[in-house]
Amino acid sequence: MSGVYDCLVIGAGPGGLAAAATAAEAGLQVGLEDDNPAAGGQIWRRGNAAVSVSHSAEQWMERIRSAKVDVLCGWRATDAGTDALGTPFIRVEGLGGFRDLRYRKLILATGARELFLPFPGWTLPGIYGAGGLQAFAKSGFDVRGMRVVLAGTGPLLMAVTAHLHEAGAKIVAVVEQAPLSRLMSLGMHLAPSAPGKLMEGLRYRLRTMGTKYYFGHWVSEARGDGKLERLTITNGSESFAVEADLLGVGYHLVPNTELAQLLGCGLENGFVRVEETQETSCTSIYCIGEATGIGGVDKAQVEGRIAGFSAAGRIEKARSLFAARDKQLRFVERLAAAFALREELRGLAQENTLVCRCEDVPHGALRECHSWREAKLHTRCGMGPCQGRICGPATQFLYGWHAPAPRPPVFPASVGTIAAVDEAGVHHE
Ligand SMILES: Cc1cc2nc3c(=O)[nH]c(=O)nc-3n(C[C@H](O)[C@H](O)[C@H](O)COP(=O)(O)OP(=O)(O)OC[C@H]3O[C@@H](n4cnc5c(N)ncnc54)[C@H](O)[C@@H]3O)c2cc1C
* CATH of residue 139: 3.50.50.60
Q: Is the CB of 14 under 6 A from ligand 1?
A: yes
Say if residues 335 and 295 touch (Cβ distance below 8 Å). yes
Query: Is the domain of 141 the same as that of 206?
Result: yes
Q: Is the CB of 248 under 6 A from ligand 1?
A: no
Ligand 1 centroid distance, CA of 256 (Å): 9
Q: Which of 145, 159, 176, 177 is nearest to 246 (CA)?
A: 145
Query: 423: how many CB neighbours lie within 10 A of its CB?
Result: 7
End-of-domain residue from the set 335, 358, 386: 335
Query: Is the domain of 126 the same as that of 101?
Result: no
Q: Is the CB of 413 under 6 A from ligand 1?
A: no
pLDDT digits (tens, 9 = 90+) for 108-160: 999 999 999 999 999 999 999 999 999 999 989 999 999 999 999 999 999 99
Residue 429 lies in a domain: no
Q: Is the CB of 296 under 6 A from ligand 1?
A: yes
Q: Is the CB of 154 under 6 A from ligand 1?
A: no
Q: Which of 301, 297, 330, 303 is nearest to 318 (CA)?
A: 303
Query: 24: how many CB neighbours lie within 10 A of its CB?
Result: 25
Q: Which of 313, 281, 319, 421 is nearest to 6 (CA)?
A: 313
Axis crossing angle, helix 322-338 with helix 180-193, rounded to the nearest 10: 170
Query: Is the domain of 134 the same as that of 237?
Result: yes
Query: Is the domain of 95 the same as that of 214?
Result: no
Q: At residue 29, does pLDDT exceed 90?
A: yes
- SS3 sequence, 197-259? HHHHHHHHHHHCCCCCEEECCEEEEEECCCCCCEEEEECCCCEEEEECCEEEEEECEEECCHH
Number of domains present in the structure of the chain: 3
- State which residues form the domain around 358: 349-424
pLDDT digits (tens, 9 = 90+) for 368-405: 999 999 999 999 999 999 999 999 999 999 999 988 88
Residue 344 lies in a domain: no
Q: Is the CB of 111 under 6 A from ligand 1?
A: yes
Ligand 1 centroid distance, CA of 68 (Å): 23
* 92: phi then psi, degrees, rounded to nearest 5: -120, 145
Query: Is the domain of 290 the same as that of 240?
Result: no
Ligand 1 centroid distance, CA of 202 (Å): 23
**Would you state the pLDDT for residue 358?**
96
Query: Is the domain of 106 the same as that of 144?
Result: no
Query: Is the domain of 147 the same as that of 247?
Result: yes
**Would you state the pLDDT for residue 49?**
44
End-of-domain residue from the set 269, 301, 335: 335
pLDDT digits (tens, 9 = 90+) for 175-218: 999 999 999 999 999 888 888 888 888 888 888 888 999 999 99
End-of-domain residue from the set 251, 277, 298: 251
Residue with the smallest CA separation from ligand 1 atom 3 is: 131
Q: Which atom of ligand 1 is nearest to the CA of 294?
A: 17
CA gap 337, 331 in Å, rounded: 10
Q: Which of 385, 161, 131 is nearest to 254 (CA)?
A: 131
